[in-house]
């Protein structure tokens, strides 16, 4: 099975995440609490994958340890917290649009760290995919334009600068996660070992961010079941597919395929929440699909 297809399929299951995660957040549950419970469950699920990794502890190089810290501590924990908190300082449309820069970061890091060759043709098609991604977010662009026209200070205030910093941390963190996850697979770590190390380290790093009070107790018993279902679909299954795809693809190509996540999230909202796509969003999805297929076929 092609690596691009596996990553795109992972993006589909990440998109399913929205029909559970957003209602949980809207009900008043702290997003960090949700992420914390996710990491507990995922660490338990992939705990068996720790045994092969434990056997290799004596063989671990400093670069391997650093890679695990990046994908777990920075990517799975810090970047997620930063992205979540950015919404408190910036308009959501701005946060979503800035996040489109993540593939650019991943491509640059793949060239610097993994020494992947970035051909001119790849950059052309990557740009086409980025245009498709922006068209998918066209409603956010319209809302942001209207906001800037009515009150430009909202994008230049101290709060906005704080928000830009947080989004920057998430972009760098998630972009680096793709690259260092690929590095671990290149030096012989299998998917289970990478995932178990990622979630365990992420859980440990999340502990200081958690509010250790009654907010950890979810308001309804069924919320625990919802989180479990969400973890199994968008956490365990999607992440397994993602790392299987990452093993087969260059990091730069994986970064492009990851751009399907917002498109599938919008599709899920269309089918389950009745939020229809406009013509520009459909066009963006088609452009993104064509660009990704060309990159896959040509093996740029």
For the stretch 210-226, pLDDT in tens is 988 887 888 888 999 99
Question: What is residue 8's predicted lDDT score, i.e. its pLDDT?
Answer: 92
Rounded Cα gap, residues 254 and 149, in angstroms: 36
Question: What is residue 90's predicted lDDT score, i.e. its pLDDT?
Answer: 77
User: Long-range pairs for 211-220 at CB < 8 Å and ≥24 separation?
Assistant: 211/30, 211/32, 211/33, 215/30, 215/33, 216/33, 216/36, 218/29, 218/33, 219/27, 219/28, 219/29
Question: What is residue 50's predicted lDDT score, i.e. its pLDDT?
Answer: 66
Rounded Cα gap, residues 205 and 219, in angstroms: 25
Question: What is residue 58's predicted lDDT score, i.e. its pLDDT?
Answer: 67
Question: What is residue 185's predicted lDDT score, i.e. its pLDDT?
Answer: 93
Residues of the chain with pLDDT under 70: 1, 49-58, 93, 154, 273, 300
Rounded Cα gap, residues 249 and 182, in angstroms: 9
Q: C-alpha dihedral over 213, 216, 217, 218, to 10 degrees?
A: 140
> Tokens 């469950």 label which residue?
41
Q: Where are the domains of the chain?
A: 3-298
Instruction: Record the pTM.
Output: 0.86
């Amino acid at each position: 099975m092609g690596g691009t297809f596996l990553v795109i399929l992972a993006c589909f299951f990440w998109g399913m995440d929205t029909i559970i995660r957003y209602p949980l957040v809207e009900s008043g549950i702290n997003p960090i609490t949700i992420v914390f419970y996710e990491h507990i469950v995922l660490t338990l699920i992939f705990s068996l994958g720790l045994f092969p990794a434990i056997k290799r502890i004596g063989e671990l190089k400093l670069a391997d340890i650093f890679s695990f810290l990046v994908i777990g501590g920075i990517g799975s924990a810090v970047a997620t917290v930063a992205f979540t908190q950015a919404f408190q300082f910036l308009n959501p449309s701005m946060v979503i649009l800035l996040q489109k820069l993540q593939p650019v970061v991943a491509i640059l890091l793949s060239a610097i760290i993994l020494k992947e060759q970035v051909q001119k043709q790849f950059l052309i098609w990557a740009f086409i995919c980025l245009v498709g991604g922006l068209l998918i977010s066209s409603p956010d662009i319209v809302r942001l334009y209207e906001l800037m026209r009515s009150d430009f200070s909202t994008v230049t205030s101290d709060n906005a600068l704080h928000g830009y910093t947080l989004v920057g941390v998430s972009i760098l963190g998630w972009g680096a996660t793709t690259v260092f996850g690929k590095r671990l697979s290149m030096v012989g770590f299998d998917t289970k070992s990478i995932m178990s190390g990622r979630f365990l380290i992420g859980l440990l790093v999340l502990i200081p961010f958690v509010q250790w009070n009654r907010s950890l107790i979810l308001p309804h018993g069924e919320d625990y079941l919802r989180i479990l279902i969400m973890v199994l679909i968008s956490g365990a299954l999607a992440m397994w597919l993602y790392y299987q795809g990452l093993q087969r693809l260059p990091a730069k190509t994986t970064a492009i395929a990851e751009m399907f996540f917002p498109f599938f999230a919008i599709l899920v909202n269309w089918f389950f929440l009745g939020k229809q796509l406009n013509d520009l969003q459909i066009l963006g999805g088609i452009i993104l699909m064509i660009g990704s297929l060309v990159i896959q076929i040509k093996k740029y």
